[in-house]
Amino acid sequence: MYQIEEPKYFYLFISIAVLMVMYLLVAVWKRRKQREFADLSLLKKLSPESSKFKPTLKIVVVALGLSFLILAMTNPKMGTQLKTIKRQGVDIVFALDVSKSMLAEDIAPNRLEKSKQIIAKIVDKLGSDRVGIIIYAGSSYPLLPITTDHAAAKMFLQNAHPDMVSSQGTAINEALKMAKNFFDDDTQTNRFLFVISDGEDHEENSSTIAKEILNDGIITYTIGIGTNKGGPIPMKRNGKVIGYKKDNKDEVVITKLDVETLKDIAQNGKGKYIYGNNTSKTVDVVEELLLKADKKEFETKQYSDYKDQFQWFIALGILFLIIDVFLLNKKTKWVEKMNLFNEK
């Protein structure tokens, strides 16, 4: 297992690309000027020792040397041991509504992006807790199995979008049922399910299912995103609004926050409804209730004792730069005899 301590230095590879482009431009310019100066066959007689291959080889060697030095600057590290680490935490699953109504912009930048911000902030506050993500619209979809890898959770979260679910609607029932099998540790007594939605167009019997999964130790909380006034659902192309969703009567659809539905689900799931339009307050409420929860001890394996490996890349970089110093633009006699590069 490896780590990159300073990934910001990868941007320096742009300089390698610039170097190669400049070399090609200079090579084309020199070729053109040589043709203007004299016939190429005459130039070959004037400089019989000049090699066509060596200049290209030299620039490649320099590029390799600089590349290894850039890699050294990122300070790659290698994990040398796989250790079993004991941790304490709870299991948390987020059920994120990605239906079209979540694209309404009555909450800036829109309901879906606000929901992502809340989840990301909550994940940042987690310690050794495990987290999983379900997305749903007309059907539910497991975005991320339950894991201790919080960085992966945030990465997968950024990709959540209505287009990831083939059918539209609000299949909260499917998401609740999926959550029942999402928690993979039967010994974990603290299981939290956070349903993040605008509450609109939810199916019937959602409260009943929330009560059923409570028997499996899953406490359901709901976080409402949106306003009572509501807003239209924008239709965009290339990031620009080209219109708004309309109903069968050709009237613009106004989607509103359905607080009562979300409260009913939370109440039957022995949880709590949280008004989610204020990110910091919502995160504080969730953090407080998780801190009060009993933590279960579990084991996980991870690489440890990471050691710096930059010295190997420095050595390779310097080696290639030294090779470049000893590479002359003249033909190499013994190579010329072998005719490896068709220089005759």
Domains and CATH numbers, the chain: 2-79+306-338 (no CATH), 91-294 (3.40.50.410)
Q: What are phi and psi of 87, to 5 degrees?
A: -130, 165
Residues in the chain, pLDDT under 50:
334-335, 341, 344
Distance of CA 307 to the CA centre of its chain: 26
Task: Give residue 121's pLDDT.
Answer: 95
Q: What is the pLDDT of residue 238?
A: 80
Strand partners, 50: 330
Coil, helix or strand at residue 228: coil
β-bridge partners, 337? none
Is residue 232 reached through a cis peptide bond, with omega within 30 degrees of 0 on the bond before it? Answer: no
Q: Which two tokens mark 80?
A: 């040398």
91 neighbors 183 (Cβ within 8 angstroms): yes
pLDDT of residue 267: 94
DSSP assignment of 280-305, as one string? HHHHHHHHHHHHHSPPEEEEEEEEEE
Q: What is the pTM of this model?
A: 0.63
Output the pLDDT for position 239: 76
